[in-house]
Amino acid sequence: MRKVAIIGCGMSKFGEHWDSSFRELVVEAGLKAIQDANISGEKIDAGFVGTMASGSFIGQEHIGALIADYMGLNPVPITRVEGACASGGLALRQGFMAVASGLHDIVVVGGIEKMTDLDGNMVTDVLGGAGDQEWELFLGATFPGIYALMAKRHMHEFGTTEEMMASVAVKNHKHGSKNKYAQYQNEITIDTVLNSKMVADPLKVFDCSPVSDGAAAVVLAPLELAHSFTKKPVEILASAQASDTIALHSRESLTGLKATRIAADKAYKMAGVGPSDIDLVELHDCFTIAEIMAIEDLGFFKKGEGGKAALEGRTAINGEIAVNTSGGLKSCGHPVGATGIKQAVEVTWQLRGDAVGRQVKDAKIGMTHNVGGSGATAVIHLFGKRS
């Protein structure tokens, strides 16, 4: 198996794009990545794009062909990948395997979602399809409600407080305020979170990631060829994926995601590293409790100590482990198909030393953690700095 590197990356600003179409956003991100990689379209062998629900959100299917057409890449094969909110991470994994196997040399991987064209209730229904539609969504269990159940159980078992969850949002907004691509670039306080409107007890508006539009892209190549395109390639050290039950009521536990733990263990073993070796992680904070559970499941803190670690500032840029330097889903935004690729773009910028205003000092190894549904799919990638 060949070693694989990211040689280029790019993204659109995340947010509410009333004047930009789905295809315009993905072309913007894709062209930025191709230009960053110093290649022409003729060198691209294949592409993969993650998008969860383009048919429901904008009425457009056959996304691979659309992108190949509007990117001027025909007849390059572009394949759509879907895994709910983990669609971007899964697309990156497909691209990684295509290059690592030797099937292709230069592969472009993107993620895209245009969500704000629908009203909030319709978006909630579409996203609910990422869970067990028959036993959850049909009976009224939306994702805020499902994660609220996780939060309540975590609070009951470990003494996690609403202030601890609020501190996650505060930290991510602070990081996002330094990211020009973030949907929300304003700092907030714990009181802001605690006094915001209740969504599903104990989760409030500021505990929840927003509805977003946006796209992101990376270009992959064999590591042995990477320096012919860029002076600062970033190696993908590991790629791992795991599954769990799609319905929350069938899980072993409500206070963590088994798929995350299994995928992380696989990734650590593949790269020959452990949690203490990771300098930064872009993880899936669809709700503040999700970040607390993730930093535990990924091995950065013991189970039950994630909330305290967040409140004490141990997950800030200058803390023990820098978590969501982009602002995460909470502040940077969450156009679901694009999130997993945005995470890889942020880690690439960090390892290159290009994360202006939010740079993690001497960052050498980074991680991304992308989740589908309430934890039925988890995708982990590890990245290493290459001089």
CATH number at residue 159: 3.40.47.10
The residues, ordered by sequence, that sit 6+ positions from 102 with a Cβ below 8 Å of its Cβ are 2
User: Two tokens at 355?
Assistant: 């994360």
Q: Which helix (H) or strand (E) holds 193?
A: helix 190-194
The answer to the question of residue 124 being in a domain is no
Could you give the angle at which helices 162-176 and 288-297 cross, rounded to 10 degrees? 90
- Cα-Cα-Cα-Cα dihedral of 3, 97, 355, 187, to 10°? -150
Identify whether residues 140 and 188 lie together within a single domain.
yes
- CB of 67 within 8 A of CB of 30? yes
Which of 201, 234, 267 is at the close of a domain? 234
**From residue 166, how far is each of 44, 340, 366 by CA, in Å?**
44, 24, 25
Of 175, 284, 334, 369, which one is the catalytic site residue? Answer: 334
The residue ranges of the chain whose pLDDT is under 70 are 387
- Separation CA 65–CA 62 (nearest Å): 6
- Separation CA 91–CA 51 (nearest Å): 9
Which of 234, 267, 294 is at the close of a domain? 234
The answer to the question of residue 265 being in a domain is yes
Which of 200, 234, 268 is at the close of a domain? 234
The residues, ordered by sequence, that sit 6+ positions from 32 with a Cβ below 8 Å of its Cβ are 9, 10, 11, 217
User: Two tokens at 161?
Assistant: 């407080």
Name the burial class of residue 180, with classes exposed (0-12), middle (13-18) and buried (19+) by CB atoms within 10 angstroms of its CB.
exposed
Identify whether residues 80 and 227 lie together within a single domain.
yes
Taking the complete model, does pTM exceed 0.75, yes or no?
yes
Identify whether residues 48 and 139 lie together within a single domain.
no
pLDDT attached to residue 69: 97
Identify whether residues 26 and 168 lie together within a single domain.
no
User: Two tokens at 381?
Assistant: 């990638």
- Cα-Cα-Cα-Cα dihedral of 118, 122, 123, 128, to 10°? -160
- CB of 244 within 8 A of CB of 55? no
Identify whether residues 181 and 270 lie together within a single domain.
yes
> Mapping DSSP to helix (H, G, I), strand (E, B) and coil, where does residue 261 land?
helix
- Separation CA 138–CA 157 (nearest Å): 29
Q: Examine residue 75 and say whether the peptide bond preceding it is cis (omega within 30 degrees of 0).
A: yes
User: Two tokens at 171?
Assistant: 């930290």
Instruction: Classify residue 16 by its DSSP letter.
Output: -
Of 9, 85, 286, 332, which one is the catalytic site residue? Answer: 85
Identify whether residues 264 and 361 lie together within a single domain.
yes
Pairing of strands 280-282, 365-372: parallel
Quote the domain boundaries for residue 186. Answer: 131-209+237-385
Identify whether residues 204 and 331 lie together within a single domain.
yes
The residues, ordered by sequence, that sit 6+ positions from 133 with a Cβ below 8 Å of its Cβ are none
Identify whether residues 48 and 162 lie together within a single domain.
no
Identify whether residues 257 and 220 lie together within a single domain.
no
The residues, ordered by sequence, that sit 6+ positions from 306 with a Cβ below 8 Å of its Cβ are 160, 291, 292, 293, 294, 295, 296
- Separation CA 40–CA 35 (nearest Å): 8
The answer to the question of residue 304 being in a domain is yes
- CB of 66 within 8 A of CB of 60? yes
The answer to the question of residue 241 being in a domain is yes
208 is known as an active-site residue: no
Identify whether residues 358 and 257 lie together within a single domain.
yes
pLDDT attached to residue 386: 85
Backbone angles phi, psi at 162, to 5 degrees: -65, -30
- CB of 5 within 8 A of CB of 221? yes
Number of domains in the chain: 2
pLDDT attached to residue 120: 86
The residues, ordered by sequence, that sit 6+ positions from 375 with a Cβ below 8 Å of its Cβ are 244, 248, 251, 257, 258, 259, 260
Identify whether residues 72 and 159 lie together within a single domain.
no
The answer to the question of residue 125 being in a domain is no
Identify whether residues 41 and 175 lie together within a single domain.
no
- CB of 375 within 8 A of CB of 258? yes
User: Two tokens at 242?
Assistant: 């795991």
